[in-house]
Structure 1
Amino acid sequence: MKNFMYLVTGIIAFVLLTGCTEASSGGKPETIRLDYAYYSPTSLVLKEFGWLEEEFSEEGIGIEWVLSQGSNKALEFLNSNSVDFGSAAGAASLMSKGNGAPIKNVYIFSKPEWTALVTNPDSDVNSVQDLKGKQVAATLGTDPYIFLLRSLNEEGISADEVEIVNLQHGDGASALTTGSVDAWAGLDPHMARLELESDSRLFYRNPDFNTYGFLNVREDFSKQYPDYVNRVIGVYERARKWIVENPEEAAEILAEEASIEIDVAKKQLERNDFSEPVPGDIHHEALVEAGRILQETDVIDGALDIETLTGELIEPSFAEEVIGSE
């Protein structure tokens, strides 16, 4: 009897251990939650065509979409476990990582020039120097905000010499057109719309100060479901290639989803480069440079090692495996 009990106990232990091992090594998620954003045309194409739903339908895995109005919202969703994948600017992702967000960058959805400093056509603001003592709208924690800080720093102007008004991107555009602020750190498609509809001026542009479009994943999701991270990236790749091959149709999708005119959508798409989807050295270097400016302006803790933090954020292995095998 004693030997029999040992045998039963051993079998139970083996079953439990096997079950734990299978759970820890993956299994499958019941639902995959992703954001879509007007500044990420790739996400809009995926949502339009239902390619993610198609990819996972046979396994009974649901797809949930959440609208991100800006990088700050996408990163909030990731940090609060409201989404598994979120679309955000690289520098904003670095800020979030520096504050302890459990995220990894696994894919580049575009290299955009999606932000610049904007003012009204009759404004006396013609340069960054002219911003001293002025009100500038920007969304804290996003690439336009970081662009503003880097632009001021480049000109030797302290952020304290400017009144930064924290408004979400669309509200910032409205505040500029009504004259409530003197300038705006813009974001497409709102920026392109103001150019075409209100003759707003992009008085300071610097494509190198725009950081890349990062597709981030929650670390716990990537550890538990690495195969599903690869498959999501694979479907993102399908959308990226489709946009490159069908720019007119992509603009139509953007225009419809964001409720903007087709000319505005085309201008936004023209400012996106979809050629480098795999995170690499160029993205690492851009974030390190942005991170140093953020430390100098006390946005990121000066004690953090930016090189190390960037290395912990950027994880190219998923995209390398998927895209390298094509």
Structure 2
Amino acid sequence: MGRKKIYILAVLGFLLVLAGCDLKAGGAEQDGKGLKTINIGIQQSIGPLLLAKEKGWFEKEFKKEGIEVKWTEFQSGPPHFEAIASDRLDCGQVGNSPVIAAQSAGIPFKEIANTSNGLKGNAILVQKESGIKDLKDLKGRKIAVAKGSSGFNLLYRALSKAGLKPDDVKIIQLQPDEAQPAFETGAVDAWSIWEPFISLETIGKGARILTDGQLLNVYSPGFTVVRTKFAEQHPEQVIRFLKVYEKARLWEEKHQSEAVSLYAKVKKVDQKIIKQVIKNNKALNIPISDGIVKAQQKTADFQYSLDAIKKKINTNEVVDNSYIKKALKEVKKEGGDKN
């Protein structure tokens, strides 16, 4: 056999291997099979996602399909989307500002459920004895906030209401694990943050709420998000995720004292703090309403006016309520909380 024929056969063989790989990946992936691991992101939030994680309910449910659950903890929402962009994360829950930044950046994801309205779930904190009594008193002060987070949006909306520009204050970009000690030691004068840190600082450390979403009439809704390609390839697993979360939410609702005890043990904090967190940031698992979409659009337009995002976006384009509608219908049919 000549060298030319050998070369042709080798190339054909290589192409057939590639074709086989494509068929294996494409065919199996498209019909939702062949999934070995689901990657779930979690923050330090207190709620049904943490409850289900601690009780192993996701692992139990996905094991039925031979799927392993891998958890990754993040300090805030923006790192979720860095992981989604690099295909390292499939599902997670984040606040309102990170999804706007991610959409503006062209990261492929979908908002598939509304998990909170966020009116009292975000606040700007100051120390009890601080001379900062009004939003205008923030001028010239150091304020800690995680860039691109829901706290970031609340801070900028608060400054705007007070007639201040971002340059009128000293914004220190810190993730919660860095911001907390900075706030407690007085290295910063204020902290724009979310639950459970609001209750940890106000109830546990005596800090004071300068303002929050309710006082500003600023919605900071929370969302379940999913990587677009994952949702397209494994729609049944996306629904499965939402069903487990819904059953955990229903369990928390029906067994609140047990849930509070579990959260307090996991977080090593007083149950009084946990109760306040749950009160301030009630867990939801519902379709994303037109009202929430409008609130998101208002936030996106505001951030564009500040050049916080580089292009105008239509926030409705990333919303897909089909998964949550199917999940809730199935949970209801199955009788709700059976854990």
Q: Does 1:176 align with 2:153?
A: no
1:277 to 259, 262, 286: 286
Moved more, 53-62 or 122-131: 53-62
Equivalences for residues 1-326 of structure 1 within 5 A: 20-112=26-118, 113-207=120-214, 208-275=217-284, 277-301=286-310, 303-304=311-312, 306=313, 308=314, 310-325=315-330, 326=332
Contact 1:84 1:217 in 2 (8 A): yes
Which secondary structure does the structure 2 equivalent of 1:59 belong to? Answer: coil
- SS of the residue corresponding to residue 116 of structure 1 reads strand
Return the offset for 1:18. 7.8
Q: Which amino acid aligns with 1:79?
A: A
Contact 1:280 1:316 in 2 (8 A): no
Deviation track 1:276-321 (CA, whole Å, cap 9, x = no partner) reads 52222122112111111111111012x42x3x2x122211111012
Contact 1:117 1:203 in 2 (8 A): yes
SS in 2 for 1:273: coil
1:311/1:149 CA distance change after superposition, 3 Å: same
Question: Which deviates more, 172-181 or 251-260?
Answer: 251-260
Identity %, equivalent residues:
25
Instruction: Output the amino acid matched with 2:144.
Output: A
Q: Give the whole-Å Cα distance in 2 for the aligned partners of 1:123 and 1:217.
A: 41
SS in 2 for 1:38: coil
Distance 1:323 1:130, change over 3 A: same
User: Residue 138 of structure 1 contacts residue 186 of structure 1 at CA under 8 Å; is this kept in 2?
Assistant: yes
**Contact 2:126–2:132 (CA under 8 A) maintained in structure 1:** yes
Distance 1:111 1:246, change over 3 A: farther
C-alpha distance in 2, partners of 1:23/1:313? 22
SS in 2 for 1:118: strand
Asked whether the equivalents of residues 260 and 274 of structure 2 are also in contact (C-alpha less than 8 Å), the reply is yes
Question: Does the 8 A contact of 2:195 with 2:281 survive in 1?
Answer: no
**What's the CA shift for 1:180?**
0.7
SS in 1 for 2:72: strand
Aligned residue identity for 1:268:
V
Secondary structure class of the residue paired with 1:243: helix
Per-residue deviation, 1:22:
4.5
1:152-196 deviation digits (Å, cap 9, x = unpaired): 112221111111001111322221221111111022222211112
One-letter code aligned to 2:155: L
Unaligned runs of 5+ in 1: 1-11
C-alpha distance in 1 between matches for 2:293 and 2:274: 29
Q: TM-score, normalised by structure 2?
A: 0.85
Structure 1 distance, partners of 2:230, 2:238, is 8
Instruction: State the Cα deviation string for residues 112-151 of structure 1 (Å, max 9, x = none).
Output: 3221111011111011111111110101010011110111
**What is the identity, as a one-letter code, of the residue corresponding to 2:300?**
G
Unaligned 5+ runs, structure 2: 1-15, 333-339
- The alpha-carbon distance between structure 1 residues 110 and 262, as it changes in their structure 2 partners (threshold 3 A), is same
Superposed CA RMSD in Å reads 2.0
TM-score normalised by L of structure 1? 0.88
CA contact (8 A) 2:97 2:150 kept: yes
Distance in structure 1 (CA, Å) of the matches to 2:46 and 2:288: 16
1:264, CA displacement in angstroms?
1.5
